[in-house]
């Protein structure tokens, strides 16, 4: 027997002791429960509700909030409460208090490795097996790239756990890629002194600033981006201190540092000498201690500028090529070889004692190895 011959309103369907209504919204057929009984009065009320729903859809007035009011027990709404990975990853990214360059890096990693397979998948339907399959299918450039990508994914999913969308982070059963720690390669004290002397001898005029730059680098242990961001206002020559509170990353100035904790670096005689040379070369009104020698900008935007003078000195002296960052390692190892307090050195460098001990264990041991052996 047809629906009309039964006297049922259009879109109304009795189901046991209840009544459901049927309609199409956003290109999908819906069947939603109503609070009405399958009697004449209930069927009429359900018919009125169905007609109202269809009218709202026709007018384009239906939305998720209104849908939730009309159908609070809808399974569709339960699905909508749990976001897809793509939706949640965007929320996660927007909530991070990070600089633009870091945000761009996170976004690039997510888009490159995880969005193709997971973007439209509900976050609570992602399993460890899914992730293992994705990881095994990617031709990783290196273990470091894999670890970085899986760490970002794990952070997103950990936040989903904290927000109550999932009960367990499926990334936890994916082993982290093992990567070889980059070896610390400091200069010998004699090498550092020769580099500094050569640069002071070879560089003249405004470019002499770069000799002071590397003397300061070797004898403060500050990161290259911190040195380039140092302002005269943060240097106290009387108290022999430099206040480290900002950094330059990819040419942009940021009012924060890598560890997010500002610090004061004590200046020894060599660091003060570098400051005095820089002051003698500073233009009137210069804000930054190591402003570009060619006055092309307020600050040295790229580390490639000092790098060319640094590498030229190494070549002239036939000293094995190293990174500029190894000037920082040189300062750390010189301090350790002088038996200085580990907590003091860590504070100067701007990281934890644990990091200091793990990074420079070789030099900590070398200062006392023969003393210990002589006890035998």
Q: Are 242 and 224 in contact (CB under 8 A)?
A: no
At residue 242, what are phi and psi to the nearest 5 degrees? -125, 125
Tell me the domain boundaries of the chain.
12-81, 85-173, 189-366
pLDDT for the residue numbered 358? 84
Between CA 274 and CA 105, with CA 186 as vertex, the angle to 5 degrees is 90
Placement of tokens 């027990």 in the chain: 73
Low-confidence spans in the chain with pLDDT less than 70: 1-6, 76-81, 258-259, 293, 295, 365-376
Q: Give the three-class secondary structure for 55.
A: helix
Gap between the Cα atoms of 147 and 107, Å rounded = 16
pLDDT for the residue numbered 183? 80
pLDDT for the residue numbered 5? 44
pLDDT for the residue numbered 92? 93
Between CA 175 and CA 182, with CA 176 as vertex, the angle to 5 degrees is 150
Placement of tokens 């001990």 in the chain: 357
Gap between the Cα atoms of 29 and 209, Å rounded = 73
User: Which residues, other chains included, contact 66 with Cβ-Cβ below 8 Å and sequence gap of 6+?
Assistant: 56
pLDDT for the residue numbered 1? 41
> CATH top-level class for 189-366?
mainly alpha
Gap between the Cα atoms of 337 and 331, Å rounded = 10
CA dihedral 258, 307, 290, 275 (to 10 degrees): 100
Fold match between 85-173 and 189-366? no
User: How many CB atoms sit inside 10 A of residue 73's CB?
Assistant: 10
Gap between the Cα atoms of 162 and 157, Å rounded = 9
Tell me the fold of 85-173.
DNA polymerase; domain 1 (1.10.150)
| DSSP code for 360 | S
Q: Are 164 and 124 in contact (CB under 8 A)?
A: no
Angstrom distances, CA of residue 100 to CA of 94, 253, 258, 326: 11, 11, 14, 27
User: How many CB atoms sit inside 10 A of residue 102's CB?
Assistant: 13
Gap between the Cα atoms of 372 and 350, Å rounded = 30
Report the relative pairing of strands 18-25 and 12-15 from DSSP bridges. Answer: antiparallel
Q: Are 324 and 303 in contact (CB under 8 A)?
A: yes
| DSSP code for 253 | E
DSSP calls for 109-126:
HIIIIIHHHHTTSBGGG-
Q: In sequence order, what E strands does the chain have?
A: 12-15, 18-25, 28-34, 235-236, 241-244, 247-249, 252-254, 263-266
């Amino acid at each position: 027997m047809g629906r009309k011959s039964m006297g049922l309103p259009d879109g109304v369907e009795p189901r046991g002791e209840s009544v459901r209504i049927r309609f199409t919204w956003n290109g999908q057929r819906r069947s939603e429960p109503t609070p009405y009984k399958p009697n004449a009065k209930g069927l009429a009320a359900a018919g009125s509700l169905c007609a109202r729903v269809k009218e709202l859809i026709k007018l384009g007035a239906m939305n998720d909030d209104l849908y939730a009011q009309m159908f609070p027990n809808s399974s569709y709404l339960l699905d909508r409460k749990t976001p897809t990975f793509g939706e949640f990853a965007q929320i996660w990214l927007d909530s991070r208090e990070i600089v633009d360059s870091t945000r761009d890096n996170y976004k690039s990693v997510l888009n490159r490795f995880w969005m193709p397979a997971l973007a439209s998948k509900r976050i609570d339907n992602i399993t460890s097996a899914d992730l293992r399959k994705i990881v095994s299918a990617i031709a990783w450039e290196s273990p470091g790239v894999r670890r970085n990508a899986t760490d970002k994914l794990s952070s997103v999913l950990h936040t989903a756990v904290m927000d109550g969308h999932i009960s367990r982070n499926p990334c936890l059963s994916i082993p982290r890629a093992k990567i070889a720690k980059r070896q610390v390669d400091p200069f010998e004290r004699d090498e550092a002194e020769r580099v500094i002397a050569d640069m002071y001898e070879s560089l003249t005029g405004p470019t002499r600033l770069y000799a002071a730059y590397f003397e300061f680098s070797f004898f403060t242990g500050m990161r290259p981006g911190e040195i380039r961001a140092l302002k005269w206002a943060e240097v106290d020559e009387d108290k022999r201190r430099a206040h480290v509170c900002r950094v330059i990353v990819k040419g942009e100035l940021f009012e924060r540092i890598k560890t997010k904790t500002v610090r004061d670096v004590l200046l020894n005689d060599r660091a003060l000498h570098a400051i005095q040379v820089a002051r003698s070369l500073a233009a009137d009104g210069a804000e930054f201690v190591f402003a570009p020698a060619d006055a092309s900008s307020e600050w040295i935007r790229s580390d490639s500028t000092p790098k060319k003078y640094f590498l030229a000195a190494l070549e002239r002296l036939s000293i094995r090529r190293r990174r500029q960052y190894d000037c920082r390692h040189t300062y750390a190892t010189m301090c350790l070889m002088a038996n200085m307090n580990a907590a003091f050195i860590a504070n100067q460098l701007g990281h934890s004692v644990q990091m200091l001990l793990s990074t420079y264990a070789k030099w900590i041991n070398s200062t006392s190895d023969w003393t210990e052996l002589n006890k035998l």
